[in-house]
């Protein structure tokens, strides 16, 4: 039995989330369907990172097992089967005990605001035409790196055993008419990035002082966070693995 990691990207606008859910249209279900059609076997994959309904990914990974040989045009064939809003970017052979979720050492997300109406950003950002204090926003982002318990920024009804996360990057960047939040951590909780963004925006709008922001973090109470930012502004940008784990599969040309 061989284990493979596959690298994918997707526009999440039409999906009820990444992970397979009963009676729901999900990204992982489309990927499993494409793999099963090509390999003529039932394939059940495991994803590295779950994204919510409407959230996008520049890069995400899954793993699956098969004893069957891969088609020499595997990449082309899978992309032909997948819908237009999902793409297979790569396939890698890994040790049979490697897990796409647990082997990841960090994940990076972006959240994009755009400040002027732009129809081409509708499914890629949050239209936010309001006055905002960028210095306060940046200060709030820096404060986040001082903490490791993010209970406040986890939605309820989650099954995690710990709310401890190590954040290694937290910064806002101004890119033309876009304001982009970049955050990297070893793990993220359900709804965490959107909760961070929504709560920081309250700071940037002067509706929450820095003292109150710290108090919200330390309260470990999700009712003190603001999760009300739309999903389309959020992108999973990168999933990082230990060096040398991912060995690209080479195909002989037919």
Q: Look at residues 60, 50, 86 and name the one whose alpha carbon lies nearest to residue 191.
A: 50
Please provide the DSSP assignment of 121-161 as one string. GTTTSEE--S---HHHHHHHHHHHTT--B-GGGS-SS---S
Contact 111, 229 (CB under 8 A): yes
Q: Is 147 helix (H, G, I), strand (E, B) or coil?
A: coil
Annotated catalytic residue: which of 52, 65, 84, 221? 52
Q: What is the DSSP letter of 54?
A: T
Distance CA 63, CA 92 (A): 9
Whether residue 52 lies in the annotated active site: yes
- Nearest 5°: phi and psi at 178? -115, 145
Which residues, including other chains, have CB under 8 Å from residue 16's CB and lie 6 or more apart? Answer: 24, 25, 26, 53
What share of residues in the chain are helix, strand, coil (percent, to 5)?
A: 30, 30, 45
Contact 248, 67 (CB under 8 A): no
Cα Rg of the chain (Å, integer):
19
Displacement of CA 207 from its chain's centroid (Å): 28
The CA-CA-CA angle for residues 5, 27, 183, to 5°, reads 75
Contact 212, 33 (CB under 8 A): no
Please list the active-site residues. Answer: 52
């Amino acid at each position: 039995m061989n284990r493979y990691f596959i690298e994918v990207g997707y526009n999440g606008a039409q999906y009820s989330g990444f992970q397979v859910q009963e009676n729901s249209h999900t990204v992982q279900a489309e990927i499993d369907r494409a793999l099963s059609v090509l390999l003529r076997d039932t394939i059940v994959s495991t994803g590295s990172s779950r994204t919510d309904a409407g959230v996008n990914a520049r890069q995400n990974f899954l793993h699956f097992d098969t004893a069957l040989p891969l088609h020499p045009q595997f990449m082309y064939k899978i992309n032909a089967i997948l819908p237009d809003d999902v793409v297979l970017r790569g396939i890698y052979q890994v040790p049979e005990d490697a897990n796409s979720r647990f082997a990841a050492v960090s994940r990076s997300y972006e959240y994009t605001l755009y400040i002027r109406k732009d129809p081409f950003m509708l499914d890629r950002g949050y239209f936010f035409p309001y006055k905002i204090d960028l210095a306060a926003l940046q200060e709030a982002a820096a404060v986040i790196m001082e903490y490791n318990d993010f209970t406040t920024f986890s939605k309820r009804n989650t099954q995690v055993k710990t709310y401890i996360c190590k954040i290694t990057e937290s910064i806002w960047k101004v890119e033309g008419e876009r304001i982009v939040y970049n955050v990297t951590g070893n793990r993220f909780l359900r709804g965490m990035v959107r909760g961070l963004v929504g709560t920081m925006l309250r700071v940037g709008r002067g509706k929450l002082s820095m003292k109150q922001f710290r108090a919200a973090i330390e309260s470990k109470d999700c009712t003190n966070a603001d999760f009300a930012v739309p999903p389309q502004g959020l992108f999973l940008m990168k999933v990082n693995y230990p060096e040398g784990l991912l060995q690209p599969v080479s195909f002989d040309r037919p």
